[in-house]
Amino acid sequence: MKAKFTGHDTFPLRYGWLFKAINHLNSNGKFSSSDEENIRHSIVELGVGKNMVKAIQYWAESSNIIKNERENGSYSHVISDNGVYLFGNGLDESGKDPYLELAGSIWLLHFWLNFNRDQLTAYRYFFNYANVQHFEKSKLVDDCYEDAKRLVKNEIGNSSTIKKDIDCFLNTYSKKLNTGTSKKSTKVDEDHFTSPLSELNLIQENGGGFYISNLSERPELPVEVFTFALLEFFKIETEESNVSTIDFDSLLTKPCSPGRIFRLSESGLGQKLDEIQEFTNKEVSWVDSLGLRQVNVSNTAKNNTINYLNNYYGKYNV
């Protein structure tokens, strides 16, 4: 795993940015940090400044909706399968939810953003490695800095670099409340309400640099998205073996697991597994008996992962 605590120029993910990134590539635009003509074209087409162009590219890459591919000796960005699925390719395939109108799409993006064992960022550190529910920002910076030394193989920069990344992460995921003594002075700070990921309510600012991110049951998390995430995790956990089971604790606590990424409590994971068992007609089932807690995944479920996700969008005729 490599450290990647820069690239967004401290801009949190904003509404419309991912659609802009896909639309830019669909219109034969290019993301480039060195070709001045392409940079100027991106600034005009995306309608933002140079630094925001870099931030849009960063978030699109990090959420795995675009990727950098080598072709004819040079690298260029293309839309990934994830990007085509959600946003479309501008040609013969329309996206499931290009304007992110459905809550399930935000949960899906959150999963894609954090389901990554190759690059460590502040948000991937928090959702996959941190073991806190109430924390002070300064302590999270220190913990991330120390743990990153152990987790990554390249230079991680200094603590101020990580602090900027954590600031960006918290502004992306949390809603900042400005509270006063009267009702009139209590409002949501608009500068911290620009990211779709804040809708998930996974992190709440408590004032004074303190934050809350409880593990809970997440009834608002669609079972279809949870099923997709569980099966994606199951694939990478069992890719070198031919097993059909995975233990409950792995789903709850391992990096990139649905329990970790969705901040599920132990009882919350159990409830989601009950839901998934009914939803998949026991193609994914689990047992909790005599100290044994494990999940069984059939070949049908393993080979048809995307179909479960399609069921979510099929309900909304999109």
In tens, the pLDDT along 79-118 reads 999 999 999 987 767 899 999 999 999 999 999 999 999 9
Q: What are phi and psi of 239, to 5 degrees?
A: -65, -25
Average pLDDT, the chain: 90
**Mean pLDDT value of segment 257-276:** 98
Q: What is the pLDDT of residue 186?
A: 45
**Mean pLDDT value of segment 289-313:** 93
Q: Is the pLDDT of residue 25 over 80?
A: yes
Q: What is the pLDDT of residue 169?
A: 98
Structure tokens at 85: 């699925």
Instruction: Yes or no: say if 294 and 246 are a contact pair by the CB < 8 Å rule.
Output: yes
Instruction: Yes or no: say if 260 and 253 are a contact pair by the CB < 8 Å rule.
Output: yes
Alpha-carbon distance 318 to 310, whole Å? Answer: 10
Which are the contacts of 143, defined by CB distance < 8 A and separation ≥ 6? Answer: 130, 132
Helix axes 17-26, 36-46, angle to 10 degrees: 120
Q: Is the pLDDT of residue 192 over 60?
A: no
Structure tokens at 33: 């940090």
Which are the contacts of 186, defined by CB distance < 8 A and separation ≥ 6? Answer: 177, 178, 179, 180
Domains of the chain (ranges, CATH numbers): 17-99 (1.10.10), 119-212 (no CATH), 223-314 (1.10.10)
Q: Where are the beta strands (DSSP E) in 30-161?
A: 66-71, 74-79, 119-120, 134-136
Instruction: Yes or no: say if 186 and 177 are a contact pair by the CB < 8 Å rule.
Output: yes
**Bridge partner list, 68:** 77
Q: Residue type for 284, please?
A: V
In tens, the pLDDT along 137-186 reads 999 999 999 999 999 988 888 899 999 999 999 999 997 655 544 444 44
Q: What's the longest Cα–Cα distance across the chain? A: 66
